[in-house]
Chains A and B, each alone.
Chain A
Amino acid sequence: MAQNPFDRRRINGPEESFLPVFEPGQERPTTWNARCGRQSTDIRQIFLQPGLISQANGSAYIETEKTKLACAVYGPRQSKSTTYSEKGKLNIEVKFAPFSCTRRRYPLHDAEDRSLAVAIHQSIASSVRLELFPKSTIDVFITIIENDGIEGCVASGAIAASTALADAGIEMFGLVTSCSAAVRGDDIRLDPTEEETNTSDGVVVVACMPALSSITNVWQSGRITAEVTLRCMEMCQDRCIDIHSVIAHSLSSMNKAP
Chain B
Amino acid sequence: MTSLSKAEKSYIQSSLLSDPPLRLDGRSLEDYRPIALETGVVPLANGSAKVCIGRPGRGGYVQEAGGVGGGTEVVAGVKLEVAGVGDGEGGGKVACTVSCSPAAYPSLSSNALDDLQSDLTILLESVLSHPSLRPNNLVIVPGKKAWAVKLDAVVFADGGNVVDCLMLACRAALWDTKVPLTKWVEYRAPRRHAAQGDVGMDVDVDEEAGGGFETKGESRATDFELTDYWDEGEVLSGRESWPVCVTLNVLSNIHFLDAKLQEEASVPLRMYVMYAFPRGKPILQTFRLIGPEVSTIDQLRGLIKRAESYARNTWTGLEAKLKDEEARRGVKAREKFYGRLG
Contacts and interface: CB of A to CB of B under 8 A. Distances in A.
Interface residues of B, number: 36
Interface string A7-25: 0000000000010010011
Interface string A113-125: 0110010001001
A111 B122 contact: yes
A210 to B, nearest CB: 12
B242 to A, nearest CB: 11
Interface in A197-234: 201-202, 204, 209, 212-226, 229-230, 233-234
B287 interface: yes
B88 A209 contact: no
Contacts of A18: 86-87
Given A223-B130, A226-B304, A233-B300, A21 B122 contact: no
Nearest to A86: B6
A215 B288 contact: no
Nearest to A115: B122
B294 A220 contact: no
A177 interface: no
Contact of A215 (B87, B118, B292, B296): B296
A163 interface: no
Contacts of A201: 132
B115 A114 contact: yes
Contacts of A67: none
Contact of B283 (A25, A221, A223, A237): A223
B294 A221 contact: no
Nearest to B283: A223
Given A115-B122, A223-B283, A26 B88 contact: yes
B284 A220 contact: yes
Nearest to A128: B292
A233 B298 CA distance: 11
A126 interface: yes
Contacts of A234: 297
Nearest to A112: B122
A218 B288 CA distance: 6
A230 B293 contact: no
B284 A226 contact: yes
A218 B214 CA distance: 41
B287 A215 contact: no
A176 to B, nearest CB: 10
Interface in A115-143: 115, 118, 122, 125-126, 130
A214 B295 contact: yes
Interface in B284-327: 284-297, 300-301, 304-305, 308
A24 B289 CA distance: 40
A113 B304 CA distance: 29
B212 to A, nearest CB: 12
Q: Which 5 A-B pairs have the closest CB atoms?
A: A214-B294, A220-B287, A223-B132, A115-B122, A21-B87
7 contacts: A111-B118, A114-B122, A126-B294, A201-B132, A220-B287, A221-B126, A225-B282
Interface of A: 18, 21, 24-26, 111, 114-115, 118, 122, 125-126, 130, 201-202, 204, 209, 212-226, 229-230, 233-234, 237
Given A126-B293, A130-B292, A233-B297, 7 more contacts: A115-B119, A125-B292, A201-B132, A218-B289, A223-B132, A223-B133, A226-B308
